Amino acid sequence: MTSAHTALLEHAAQGGRISSAEALELYRFAPLHALGQAADYARRARFGDQAHLATYLIDRNINYTNVCTTACKFCAFYRAPGHAEGWVRDTDEILRRCGEAVDLGATQIMLQGGHHPEFGVEYYENIFASIKAEYPQLVLHSLGASEVEHMSRVSGVSIEESITRIKTAGLDSFAGAGAEILVARPRTEIAPLKESGERWLEIMEIAHGLGVESTATFMMGTGETNAERIEHLSMIRDVQDRTGGFRSFIPWTYQPENNHLKGRTQASILEYLRMVALSRLFFDNITHLQGSWLTVGKDVGQLTLHMGADDLGSVMLEENVVSSAGAKHRSNRGELIHLMRTAGRTPAQRNTLYEIIEIHDDPANDPVDDGVVSHFASIAVDRGVLPILTDS
C-alpha cells in the first residue's frame, strides 16, 4: 500500500471528507483489508458507545401488483399491462398479509409494485389509509421516487401534492426503490423508460423537504464502470448535504435470472465488499450502512459487519422482486442473531428509525420464534414463470 493510500484511509477513517477522485483511487487500488479496517474504524467512531451493536429489523414486503409499464431490463418480477400473468392484490389481501406480519412481530411494511397504468395518487391514498386504520402500529416504509413520478403523471398532479397526500394518508418514509444506478449512461441502458437519476434525486429532495425521509440504494453489477459507481455515490452525497434526509445507504448486487440482462455483467463478491467499505468512508453524512445478505448470502453479509456496516437489514418475512431474479438466500431471526454475535457484535432489534427495540446481550434469553423466517410467504417459488395470484 502506498503512503498516499495510507494517508487517504486515515483521513477518511477519522471522518474527513474524501473527493470522488480519491474515493475511486481507494476503491480501485487500496488493499481490501486496509480498506475494511479503515471503514470499521469509521463505523466505531461514528457509533461510539453503541459501536458494539449490529442491528436488524422485522418487516414484510407486500407486492400490490406486478403490472408495470417501465419494463426495466434487470427486472424478473414485472408483467406488461394485459399480460396473462399480471395480477393486482385487493385491499383485503393486503390487510391480511399485514395482520400476519404483526402477529410475527413485524414493525414495518414495505409496499412494492409495478407502475400500473391505472394507479394514481388515489390508489395509494386508499391503501395507506386502510392499513393505518387497521394496524396503526405498523410503519409504512414504502415506494420510492419512481412510484411518485408515476402516480403524479397518472393523476395529473404535482410531485409535492402527491407526496403530501400519501403522507397524510399514512406513508411514513420512502424506500430507496428505483435508484438502481443514477448515472445517465448505465441507467439509460438498463431502464430506458424510467425517470433520470437527476429526477429521482429531485423527487427525494422534495420529499425530504416535506418531512418524508428515505433510504438510498445502489444496485451494482449491471455493466457500470468503477467511475460510474463512485459518481452514483457522489450524486447521493450531494443531496444529503442539502437535506440530511437519507437515513441509510444500502448497496446490493444485481441478480441475473429470468430477466433481459441475463447476467451478462455482474459484480463480484470482492467488488461488493469493497463498495461497502468505501461507502462507509465516503458517506460522512449518512449515518447507517446496511449489508445485503439477501443478494450476496449470509456469509458475505456477516463480512460486511467487518467492512463498515452497522445493520443487516431485515428478516424480510416476504420478498418477491429480487427473489424472482434469482436471489435464493433465506434466513430467520435466530440465524441473523447468530451471524451478528459470531462477528463479534451484540445483536439488537431496531425499528425503521434505527431506534433500538431489544438488545440480545445474553444468548440464554434469545427469542425463540420459529415462525419469524424470511420468505415464509412468497409468490417467487417457481423461478420459471410467476403464477397468477394465489393464496401463497
Can you name the residues that pair with 53 across neighbouring β-strands?
A: 346
Mean pLDDT of the chain: 89
Q: Highest-confidence range of 77-86, 99-108, 125-134, by mean pLDDT?
A: 125-134
Residue 91 lies in a domain: yes
What is the rounded CA–CA span in Å between residue 361 and residue 341? 9
Residue 381: the pLDDT is 41
Is the pLDDT at 371 greater than 80? The verdict is: no
User: pTM for the whole thing?
Assistant: 0.90
Is the pLDDT at 387 greater than 50? The verdict is: no
| Phi, then psi, of 337 in degrees rounded to 5 | -60, -40
Residue 292: the pLDDT is 86
Is the pLDDT at 166 greater than 50? The verdict is: yes
Reported as a pLDDT band with limits 50, 70 and 90, residue 78 is confident
Q: pLDDT, tens digit, for every residue of 43-63?
A: 999 999 999 999 999 999 999
What's the Cα-to-Cα distance from 344 to each of 214, 306, 328, 338, 361, rounded to whole Å? 29, 9, 26, 10, 12
Residue 121 lies in a domain: yes
Residue 264 lies in a domain: yes
Residue 114: the pLDDT is 84
Strand 288-289 to 246-253 pairing? parallel
Residue 87: the pLDDT is 86
Residue 12 lies in a domain: no
Residue 328: the pLDDT is 55
Residue 33 lies in a domain: no
Question: 5: Cβ–Cβ under 8 A, 6 or more apart, which residues?
Answer: 25, 26, 29, 30, 31, 34
Q: How far apart are the first and last CA of the chain?
A: 53
Is the pLDDT at 321 greater than 70? The verdict is: no
CA dihedral 55, 59, 65, 69 (to 10 degrees): -10
Residue 389: the pLDDT is 36
Residue 383: the pLDDT is 34
Mean pLDDT along residues 21-29? 97
More confident residue, 329 or 283: 283
Residue 288 lies in a domain: yes
Domain enclosing residue 151, as ranges = 49-365
What is the rounded CA–CA span in Å between residue 310 and residue 340? 10
Residue 324: the pLDDT is 44
Of 220, 297, 221, the closest CA to residue 251 belongs to: 220
Residue 18 lies in a domain: no
* Domain at 141, CATH number: 3.20.20.70
Residue 148 lies in a domain: yes
Q: What percent of the chain is predicted at pLDDT more than 70?
A: 88
Question: What is the identity of the amino acid at 187?
Answer: R
Domain tally, the chain: 1
Is the pLDDT at 302 greater than 80? The verdict is: yes
Asked whether the beta carbons of 106 and 59 are under 8 A apart, the reply is yes
The C-alpha cell at 350 is 431496531
